[in-house]
Every structure is written in structure tokens, then in C-alpha cells.
Amino acid sequence: MQELSTSDASSDRATYAEMLRVPAMSVGRYRIPAGGDDPQEPHAEDEVYVVLAGRGILRAESGDALAVPGATLFVPAGEEHRFVEIEEGLDVVVVFAPAEYTLAEGGA
């Protein structure tokens, strides 16, 4: 069994750290400071966000969702999305299935 790190890190910009990668999925930690910008682009893989801390809005083609502690948010592959109106720094676990970039690289 592999333990995933949950250590704290602070930055004045969005940061992403992958913690686990297997062919079927990848798991990472995404942090965006209060008032920060979310520069991400659509992904070729389905994506689930689990919000650990912070407050903002996940804006997606399919609609807006509150990003608050305990929220679990799903974004289907290829859908434009980003976090906006980040009032409190977001700390989010991200799960890609299959693993991030797998489909973009012509895999699975």
C-alpha cells in the first residue's frame, strides 16, 4: 500500500502535485490561493475533485458548482472548466480516470 502525502505547501499561484499514478487513474493535489487564477485546460480524461479546504466556484460548460470543504465535483472528459471567485485558498484532491494524459497520448 502506498500512502499519499497531504503535507501543506503555500504558493502565490496554482500548484499541482501528482501523488499516485497507475494506468487506470492518477491522483494529485491541486492548490489555488485566494484570489488566484486557475490556468487549467480541458483534459482528455474524466476528472473528480474532492475539496478539502477553501471556497470558490467550479465553472464548467455544464454549469457552476460550489467548491467548499466536503464537496465532490465531477467534470467529464473534454469539458472546459476552471475554478473562479476563489474567496479562500482551495486545497483539492484530483482524481483522473484513466491516468492524466493517458488518452491525450493515444493510450487506453
In this prediction, residues 27-38 reach a mean pLDDT of 97
Residue 8's pLDDT band (boundaries 50, 70, 90)?
low
pLDDT single digits (tens) 46-102 = 999 999 999 999 999 999 999 999 999 999 999 999 999 999 999 999 999 999 888
Q: How many CB atoms within 10 Å of residue 69? A: 13
Does residue 25 have a pLDDT over 80? yes
User: Residue 108's pLDDT is what?
Assistant: 47
d(Cα 41, Cα 39) in Å, to the nearest integer? Answer: 7
User: Residue 11's pLDDT is what?
Assistant: 72
Using DSSP bridges, classify how beta strands 25-32 and 15-22 pair: parallel, antiparallel or unpaired.
antiparallel
User: Residue 104's pLDDT is what?
Assistant: 76
